[in-house]
Structure 1
Amino acid sequence: MNNIGPLIKKIRTDKNLTQKIVSTGIMSRSHLSELENGKYFPSYEKMLGLLQNLDISLMEFQTELDNNYSLKDRIYTETTNRLSTEQKIDELADYLEKTFTPEVAKKSIRLQIKRLNMLGLIELTQSNHITIENYQPIFNYLLSCKNWHEFEIRTLANSIFLADFEVAKVLANQFEEKAKKLNFKNYMDKVILFFSNLAELALRKGEYQLALRYAKKAQRKAYDNKKIYYLLIANVLANLSDLKLNVADNTYMQEITKNIAIFRTLSYPAVADSLQNLVDLILTSNM
């Protein structure tokens, strides 16, 4: 059941606003009526317009929506998380096609973003390519938020590899500005992952100095917070960046090999293989 429309109606009536006022400049009054009754779903841009007319932020609306976040909706998220973590990409693709469908995702912004994130992971894994424009709604959402909290930080960390590189750099700058005002300590794993993913994205774009900067941020945060798993990943990324900047220095390759070997010793073969594939790709790149 679409719970976005009824929530819009509740907020509208709570604020004593008419359908005409809320729909002005966005859609027809009849379309708003259909939306409020769960018979119509607007585009992302129209949704933002409605929220503006309702004088409520996207984050506030999502919080209201989360209060009615159903157990079934959580199952969609938890199942995709499990399949992606276990690297069961074919099974994940089948789940998105048959169960977690576009119709299901329409129920909330959270589900839409989650499904897009998983589609991007599948595309990258299966083709080593990203159709960037398909995932822009994720970053439109993040750029529209005045402040970021747990959902936004998780989305940022998990989805940044799908962003246009220029957009990714803007989000990185926004993160550093927001971090001056907000406490992200409760989400430190995701903060470290965000900078690691930024470093990988920069490596793939041939921006080795910038990659080194992001990797060192991930290294420092992982070290300060005793996050050994993430520290090993950041070590590989930092040394790979240094190696591309100083090709004659073999000590960087030795460090890369050592850190990847630790993952194999700790029984993380999939992580070790993924890092080795990245290293091979970057070292054979002509950028």
Structure 2
Amino acid sequence: MNFGATIKKIRKDKNFTQKELSDGILTRSHLSQIETNNYYPSYDKFFLLLNKLNIVFEEFLFVQNDQKMLFNQQIRMEISEAANMNDTEKLKNLAITAKDLYDKTENITYYHYMLICKALISYSISHSVNDEMIEFVTPIKEYLFGMDNWYLYELKLFNNIIYSLTVEEALLFSRTSLRRLGNFQYFLEFQHIEQNIYTNLSTLCLEHGDFQVAKNFAETAIEKAKNYTLVYEKICSELNHAIASINLGESVDAYEVIKKNMLIIEYLEFDSLHAHFSSFLKKFNIDITN
């Protein structure tokens, strides 16, 4: 579907006449020319039309693409889902898909997606940061650190590689990223990115044995998960918080929190996630069988 046809379809679906939609933005004749692809509006006029139609730009693209999600967005969401579920097989397939797309298009996005998949696979095997994983994310790290400023894409990339950084690097760049993220607070992805950054920072600090900082980040992550009603993220954050608390000798309720959340994960059949946290508990000599 072309640009003009998309505007026309949305207008008709929303029961707007040309006069109603164009009023206060441009002339009706100009809107008619837009819908027949004989005239293209300026950016400000275009977004005023979208605003009047009560749709966002991503939704416009979705309709223009015959109600199919753009593939680079689809593969990103599939990677995120596979990562949350620790689905190694799916990550392997997505890595192959991303590599094929990069070879065909030379689009750096697909190159980054391939590297993220491989890094996540490497992490899922050992359940710890390892040299192979760091090797995979190094090109992404170099890409990010070469940017003068970060936008949503770079913020998401940073979120994906936090666990492979040193604590000093992660803390330094998380301050910058969280300040920058504030500019995007009205975007749909904001809540997930913000909460995930704090959860990933807590995981990183656990990996490096910095339990007090891990606990602090987990507390913030839990609060964000509650505020945004992110159930899955709340479980992961509570487990991180409990593990940190036990290692700090503050284990009052921590074992019960772990037992409860591990049962929830098992009940929901998040097998890979259960295996991940079981390995994590073993790493820190935490026994919840008693």
Match of 2:260 among 245, 258, 261: 258
CA deviation after TM superposition for structure 1 residue 219, in Å: 1.0
Match of 1:130 in 2: 130
> Aligned pair in 2 of structure 1 residues 174, 278: CA closer, same or farther (>3 Å)?
same
Which structure 2 residue ranges, 5 or more long, are not aligned?
1-68
Q: Does residue 1:199 correspond to 2:198, yes or no? A: no
What amino acid is the match of 2:228? N
CA deviation after TM superposition for structure 1 residue 281, in Å: 1.4
Which stretch shifts more, 123-132 or 111-120?
Answer: 123-132
> Aligned pair in 2 of structure 1 residues 90, 243: CA closer, same or farther (>3 Å)?
same
Question: TM (normalized to structure 2)?
Answer: 0.62
CA deviation after TM superposition for structure 1 residue 176, in Å: 3.1
CA deviation after TM superposition for structure 1 residue 89, in Å: 1.8
Query: Aligned partners of 1:255, 1:83: CA distance in 2, in Å?
Result: 25
Match of 2:241 in 1: 238
Query: Aligned partners of 1:178, 1:233: CA distance in 2, in Å?
Result: 25
Match of 1:168 in 2: 170
Match of 2:114 in 1: 115
Question: TM (normalized to structure 1)?
Answer: 0.63
> Aligned pair in 2 of structure 1 residues 229, 97: CA closer, same or farther (>3 Å)?
closer
Question: Map of 1:128-167 to 2, 5 A cutoff?
Answer: 128=127, 129-131=129-131, 132-167=134-169
RMSD over aligned Cα atoms:
3.1
CA deviation after TM superposition for structure 1 residue 278, in Å: 1.5
Question: Map of 1:1-287 to 2, 5 A cutoff?
Answer: 77=76, 80=79, 84=83, 87-90=86-89, 92-93=91-92, 96=95, 100-101=99-100, 104=103, 107-128=106-127, 129-131=129-131, 132-183=134-185, 186=188, 187-246=190-249, 249-283=251-285
What amino acid is the match of 1:150? L
Which stretch shifts more, 163-172 or 125-134?
Answer: 125-134
CA contact (8 A) 1:153 1:191 kept: no
CA deviation after TM superposition for structure 1 residue 71, in Å: 6.0
Query: Aligned partners of 1:149, 1:198: CA distance in 2, in Å?
Result: 20
Query: Aligned partners of 1:278, 1:105: CA distance in 2, in Å?
Result: 39
> Aligned pair in 2 of structure 1 residues 251, 88: CA closer, same or farther (>3 Å)?
closer
| SS of corresponding position for 2:284 | helix
Query: Aligned partners of 2:75, 2:228: CA distance in 1, in Å?
Result: 31
Which stretch shifts more, 218-227 or 158-167?
Answer: 158-167
What amino acid is the match of 1:254? E
CA contact (8 A) 2:162 2:200 kept: yes
Q: How many percent identity over aligned positions?
A: 18
Query: Aligned partners of 1:242, 1:105: CA distance in 2, in Å?
Result: 49
Query: Aligned partners of 2:104, 2:122: CA distance in 1, in Å?
Result: 18
